[in-house]
Amino acid sequence: MNKAYIFLFAISIFLLPSCGVFTVNKSKDIPYMAQGQLDNLPEKSLNIFFPKNKKECPVVVFAYGGSWESGKKELYSFLGKRLAKKGIVAVIIDYPLSPAYKVPDMALSVAQSVKWTVNNIANYHGNPDRIFVSGHSAGGHLTALNTLKDDYFDQLCVENPIKGAILIDAAGIDMYTYLKEKKLASGESYLKAFTNDPAVWKDTSPIYYLDNQDPQCLIMMGGKTYPGIKSSTERFLDKSEEIGYEPIYHLQPSKKHVPMITQFIWSGNKTYDWIEEFVKAK
């Protein structure tokens, strides 16, 4: 994420008011994982946005994108505020990043943030029995992985509590095929996150854990997104049809990758209607 993009992002957020029904409260920088709590993983925290006058709300835990190597939760306060205005508790998380940490570390951290949310979200007007996850790009990959693969929750000695996933132009859905085809040189940024081991690529590709009993995914993809995202999403949809799994899929034909998340700056964006319908139906 370059400096010009961050500046534009910040100005857009500052200029655009948040519209909705509910007054929003915010609690920030709440640790969900202590230093060394999970082996070598660092302390990480989250921000919570919740309706002031409504309780038992559905909850969305959001992980940002940034190629598994960049990002911070503060950039996504606009999303938290707008979801809370619509009666959804939003939990915006930080997680460990490459090159210091690998994708399995990130996935375990996301699972820990969800576990923390289940145990504590009633204090912030959320319903612990209605936990959803969401992410853009790399964050979409990590949340899809936790939705379809129980191993990370098994490591935490809890059952997978996720009721559904909201994937926003998710990267890495089939990273195994992508990296095999690309034949990247050792040390390239993706390999710093996914390692040089094809077994790890496959183990951390959500598509290989899909079955027809999994929680439903709401998938949004830009028609002008990156070819790797397009091809892996299409393979995911093909496999879904083969096994009788039924995701909800929205193609946004004119959207590129970054605008798939910046569109959420506008509170009247139709994507919020899709999310509301998805989380309130379960």
- Give residue-wise pLDDT tens across range 133-160: 999 999 999 999 999 999 999 999 999 9
Q: What type of residue sits at position 58? A: P
Domains of the chain: total? 1
Token pair listed for 86: 């619509």
Model pLDDT for residues 199-219, shown as the tens digit of each residue: 999 999 999 999 999 999 999
Model pLDDT for residues 14-61, shown as the tens digit of each residue: 545 556 788 999 999 999 999 999 999 999 999 999 999 999 999 999
Angle, helix 103-120 to helix 138-148, in steps of 10 degrees: 70
Model pLDDT for residues 234-262, shown as the tens digit of each residue: 999 999 999 999 999 999 999 999 999 99
**Is residue 139 within 8 Å of residue 69, measured between CB atoms?**
no
Model pLDDT for residues 99-135, shown as the tens digit of each residue: 999 999 999 999 999 999 999 999 999 999 999 999 9
**Is residue 132 within 8 Å of residue 163, measured between CB atoms?**
yes
CATH code: domain of residue 196: 3.40.50.1820
- Angstrom distances, CA of residue 195 to CA of 6, 67, 99, 100: 28, 14, 10, 12
Which is nearest to 252 in space by CA: 149, 126, 145, 167?
167
Decide if pLDDT at 275 tops 90.
yes
> How far apart are the C-alpha atoms of 112 and 94, rounded to whole Å?
11
Model pLDDT for residues 52-86, shown as the tens digit of each residue: 999 999 999 999 999 999 999 999 999 999 999 99
Decide if pLDDT at 7 tops 90.
no
Global pTM value: 0.94
Decide if pLDDT at 175 tops 90.
yes
pLDDT at 282: 84
Owning domain of residue 82: 3-280
pLDDT at 63: 98
- Angstrom distances, CA of residue 259 to CA of 197, 210, 212, 223, 248: 32, 28, 31, 11, 20
**Is residue 280 within 8 Å of residue 243, measured between CB atoms?**
no
pLDDT at 176: 98
Which is nearest to 127 in space by CA: 83, 82, 166, 89?
89
**Is residue 169 within 8 Å of residue 179, measured between CB atoms?**
no
